[in-house]
Amino acid sequence: MIKRILRHETILALLTVIVLAILAYQSDKFFTVDNLLNQGRLMTEVGLVAVIMTFVIVTGGIDLSVGSIVGLTAILTGVFWKSLGLPLPLAAFAAIACGTFGGFMNGVIITRFKVPPLIATLATLALYRGLAEGISQARSVRGYPESFYVLGQGNMLGVPTQLWLLIITAIVAGVVLGYTRWGRTVYAIGSNEVAARFSGLPVDRAKLAVYTASGFAAAVAGVILVSRVSTTRSDMGTGLELDAITAVVLGGTSIFGGRGTVIGTLLGLILIQALKNGLSLAGIKGDGTIVLIGVVLILTILISNIVHRDGNR
């Protein structure tokens, strides 16, 4: 099984290298340290969400509400700070706590009331976005203090601040998924939830934890997004769930659960971001890029399926 996963990742890594090479050849602005670091900055919000989304999808679930949680957290950060007059760090933490609670509620709906994750999070996608719009009253919040921009626009040791966060998150997530009993539980749930329960694994607790973590990642992404674009609007993060899911699936995680790795997801993220950036540098319009990403997704999955079939027996 490990061999098979590696195989998908190897294919993806190769593909990523090829794409990077082509893009570098197409435009001399692409393969520069500045540009690459900047792309890393742009990738972080989706990246944080996608890394945790990997866990969600490996359990056989899905979390569609993450984009709305990003929006809700962004709005709450602004409201807590500007309207309630909390100090900005405290406002951000409070907003993250609320976003995390949103994820926790997803988990409760899914584990307690046995609502399928797709439906539960489709409902909270609407609910959380509605809350964000209601709270913001269509007003945006601006004028954050300079110090707040360190998170979204600043650098640490020459690397964008938030990229450090993504790197650390990815390492921790990769270790948890691959090397701990929690990760093993996540895989077992995705492969056969009934057998996992019959083996005494803490199925409901694990699912609750995974959806809560997903809410937390989305909330952190929301605060980073505010800091990066210097403003809050209620429609922030719209469609982000699909970008995250695309990266996860491109990374080889089975949408039916039981299979997937964090490394795969990271490769998926890098490939998508490189395509977006490289193609726009090469002068291709946005809709062309989306079409190409769709094609790459289908091709990768096809190739991987063919290889798996050969590897199987």
Which of 18, 90, 181, 299 is in the footprint of another protein by CB under 8 A?
181
CB of residue 59 to another protein, shortest distance in Å: 13
Contact 135/75 with Cβ under 8 angstroms? yes
Q: Give the distance, in angstroms, between the CA of residue 213 and the centroid of all CA atoms in the same chain.
A: 11
Contact between 180 and another protein per CB under 8 A? yes
Touching another protein, residues 1-40 (CB under 8 A): 1
DSSP secondary structure string for all residues of 51-112: HHHHHHHHTT---TTHHHHHHHHHHHHHIIIIIS---HHHHHHHHHHHHHHHHHHHHHHHHH
Nearer to another protein, 29 or 205 (CB): 205
3-state secondary structure of 160: strand
Nearer to another protein, 180 or 305 (CB): 180
Nearer to another protein, 92 or 206 (CB): 206
Touching another protein, residues 182-211 (CB under 8 A): 182, 184-185, 187-188, 191-192, 194-202
Q: Is the CA virtual torsion 240, 246, 252, 256 positive or negative?
A: positive
Q: Which stretch binds another protein (CB under 8 A): 23-31, 136-144, 176-184, 286-294?
A: 176-184
Q: Is the CA virtual torsion 244, 250, 255, 258 positive or negative?
A: negative
CB of residue 197 to another protein, shortest distance in Å: 6
Nearer to another protein, 130 or 202 (CB): 202
How far apart are the C-alpha atoms of 295 and 192, rounded to whole Å? Answer: 31
Sketch the per residue contact string, 227 through 266, with another protein: x for CB under 8 A, - otherwise: -------------------------------xx-------
Contact between 112 and another protein per CB under 8 A? no
Nearer to another protein, 72 or 210 (CB): 210
Contact between 82 and another protein per CB under 8 A? no
Contact between 308 and another protein per CB under 8 A? no
Beta carbons within 10 angstroms of residue 236's beta carbon: 25
How far apart are the C-alpha atoms of 92 and 233, rounded to whole Å? Answer: 15
**Size of interface with another protein, in residues (CB under 8 A):** 24
Contact between 158 and another protein per CB under 8 A? no
Nearer to another protein, 35 or 192 (CB): 192
3-state secondary structure labels for all residues of 244-271: HHHHHHHCCCCCCCCCCCHHHHHHHHHH
CB of residue 180 to another protein, shortest distance in Å: 4
Q: Which residues pair with 159 in a beta bridge?
A: 156
Nearer to another protein, 172 or 291 (CB): 172
3-state secondary structure of 20: helix
Query: How far, CA to CA in Å, does 216 sit from each of 93, 158, 188, 308?
Result: 11, 27, 23, 34
Nearer to another protein, 156 or 195 (CB): 195
Question: Under the rule (CB under 8 A), what is the footprint of another protein?
Answer: 1, 176, 179-182, 184-185, 187-188, 191-192, 194-202, 258-259, 313
